[in-house]
Chain A
Amino acid sequence: MRRILSTVRDGRGFDIVLVGVPFAFLFALAGLPLIYNILMSFQEVDMFSLGSFIRPFVGIDNYVALFRQPETWPILTNTLIFVVGSIAGQFVIGFGLALFFWTNFPGASWLRGLFLVSWVMPGLVVGAIWNWILSGDFGVLNFFLRESGLIEGNIFWRSDPIFSLWAVVIANIWLGTSFNMILLSVGLSAIPGDLYEAAEMDGANGWQRFWTITLPMMRSTIGAIIALGLIFTLQQFDLFAAITDGGPNNSSNVAQYWAWDLSFRQYDFGRGATISVIMTVFVMFAAAVYVRSTRHEVRG
């Protein structure tokens, strides 16, 4: 007993306690739910069987029934559009801003940091603000678009099935652009400056320097940021809750919102768990890409 106490105070035991307790905690509250999720996706779980551990085992029925539902494929397509649209917008605007602020004038780093307010705000507040901006008759975005002559009549962003998904994409681009920009700025500042001096002496113009130096040097950073973008976009939930609520008629519904909707509005926990399992596989894949592209730094 005394030996155990002394190793905890002054030896290997100290490290094991420090790392063991958090991992036990994480296993209980993230690992176990993950396994439990897979189990539930093979069971029938509703309001009545919620409290019991023994539930009817239905094999892959949940999966089969899920893909027979007419709304499944449209929602998965929406998820893909949401992910690709958001990442493309965030990345392109973020990269543009990062390149601009890279020219390093006085005040650049302070102003650049200020952009990050979009990222630290609660998602629901961001959603509320964009809900109001995107409002059909009185929204200020429609006003700007009308004034600049881009549209004739008002676009009903939230209630028109054609635009409802894009309403959330716009809000999500705003939310995530600053984070992309900050990380891209870090990558840019790590490129050694003499590369550019050498290229300039060889007569390369700005465009050529961008394609032959900046982009190749940023390859691993860009990989990491796109993977992170995929992870963050698949986590986005608050904006859907605050702007369109998945509607009208599922036209702006995505898998991660649908999973919650099935569980907590339709009380079909088994099916909610089924979508969760499918999406978790995707997220894990993105995470593996992210870890791979930051591997060098992780191993120090």
Chain B
Amino acid sequence: MSETARNRLMLAIALIMAAIYLFPLYWMYVTSLKSGSEMFANPPSFWPSSAQWQTFAFVWESRNMGRYLWNSTVIAFGSVALIAVLGTGCAYVLARYRNVWVDVGLFLILMLQVLPASLMVTPIFVGFTQVGLLDYPRLAVILAIAAKSMPFFVVLVRATFMAVPMELEEAALVDGNSRVGAFFNIVLPLARNGILVSAILIFMQAFGEFVYSKSMIQDVSLQPASVGLNSFMGPNTSEWNNIMAYATMYVTPILAIFVLLQRRIVSGLTSGALK
């Protein structure tokens, strides 16, 4: 078999496997376009006979999705801003030095990275109640997410700073820059891409966050889209086309960002997670 024929065959198999793997996603899009009766047809149809585009407008209006997505965005941006401001400097210091204190710091960071949110939410909720933070539920959720996701951000961004040659910073210091100046003018611009990709990853995680929001935000008008989706899915629901339309509107922006930046996200992720 020639090289090109082999490559084509492999590509074809790969496409089939990707199609099987991504079928659930396809099923979400198809179901969201089906009518109420077509959805329950047996055998199921794999292409909507007449696409029901009005479902999206209906769900957007009736479920108040604009408000939910706005809350998700506020929470995600708040968490990312807090994490980026605090985490970047931390990652820089942990990348710049090699001594026993850095080892201890890294160990603590890795340990904090693994604590499940559903276990941490009990003490955080009780503690926040006592200090009165639950009066600002979105802020409370932002703080909780920041504590949960910052270690991951630090690990990823530290890998980026490791790739910035120290000599550049030293040269800037010799030229009379202060440490602050060298950090902001030399090191930070060089690590900009890695920081951005990590921030986007954190944003996508925070945009879909559920446990903290569900537990700490009682007021419906402040809840994010994940909690809205959860309350949409009652135990005996039959509105699957509407639910899938909700899911589509919720997830498509994230998927779009991911597909556009796929190469960078994947390489950023792999450089940090294992190294």
Contact = CB atoms under 8 A, between A and B. Distances in A.
B115 A51 contact: no
B51 interface: no
B112 A122 contact: no
B33 interface: no
Contacts of B150: 22, 25-26
Nearest to B155: A298
Nearest to B273: A183
B7 interface: yes
A23 interface: yes
Interface size band for A: 35 or more
A299 B104 CA distance: 11
B207 A122 contact: yes
A19 B247 contact: no
B64 interface: no
A121 interface: yes
B190 interface: no
Contact of A123 (B18, B87, B210): B210
Interface in B32-54: 39-40, 42-44
A118 interface: yes
Contacts of A286: 114
Interface in B61-114: 86-87, 89-90, 92-94, 96-98, 103, 105-114
Interface string B191-214: 000000000010010011111001
Nearest to B250: A125
B90 A22 contact: yes
A82 to B, nearest CB: 13
Interface in A180-207: 182-183, 185-187
A148 to B, nearest CB: 13
A63 interface: no
B147 interface: yes
Interface in B212-257: 214-215, 226, 229-230, 233, 235, 240, 243-244, 247, 250-251, 254-255
A156 interface: no
Contacts of B210: 122-124, 237-238, 241
- 3 closest A-B pairs (Cβ-Cβ)? A122-B208, A18-B89, A29-B147
Given A120-B204, A123-B208, A138-B40, A129 B269 contact: no
B117 A237 contact: yes
Contact of A29 (B43, B124, B207, B259): B124
B118 A237 contact: yes
Contacts of A84: none
A123 to B, nearest CB: 6
Given A123-B208, A125-B251, A130-B24, A114 B259 contact: yes
21 contacts: A15-B96, A19-B89, A19-B93, A22-B90, A23-B105, A26-B147, A111-B15, A115-B22, A116-B269, A120-B255, A122-B251, A186-B270, A235-B116, A237-B116, A237-B117, A259-B119, A260-B121, A260-B122, A273-B123, A283-B116, A290-B110
Contacts of B207: 122
Given A14-B180, A122-B251, A128 B229 contact: yes
B208 A125 contact: yes
Task: Give the one of A108, A124, A242, A284 with max B CB within 10 A.
Answer: A124
Interface residues of B, number: 103
Interface stretch (A30-38, A70-78, A160-168): A30-38
Contacts of A147: 43
B14 interface: yes
A245 to B, nearest CB: 7
Contacts of A100: 13-14, 17
B139 interface: no
Contacts of B214: 241, 264
A157 interface: no
Interface in B175-199: 178-180, 183
A105 B98 CA distance: 40
A221 B274 contact: yes
B187 to A, nearest CB: 11
A99 to B, nearest CB: 12
Nearest to A37: B123
Given A132-B31, A269-B122, A276-B120, 12 more contacts: A10-B178, A14-B183, A18-B92, A22-B154, A26-B109, A30-B115, A34-B120, A124-B210, A129-B247, A237-B118, A238-B208, A256-B116
Contacts of A29: 124, 143-144, 146-147
B27 to A, nearest CB: 6
A66 interface: no
| Most chain B beta-carbon contacts within 10 A, residue among A116, A117, A143 | A117
A172 to B, nearest CB: 13
B11 A106 contact: yes
Contacts of B14: 100-101, 105, 107-108, 111
Given A14-B179, A123-B210, A234-B116, A132 B7 contact: no
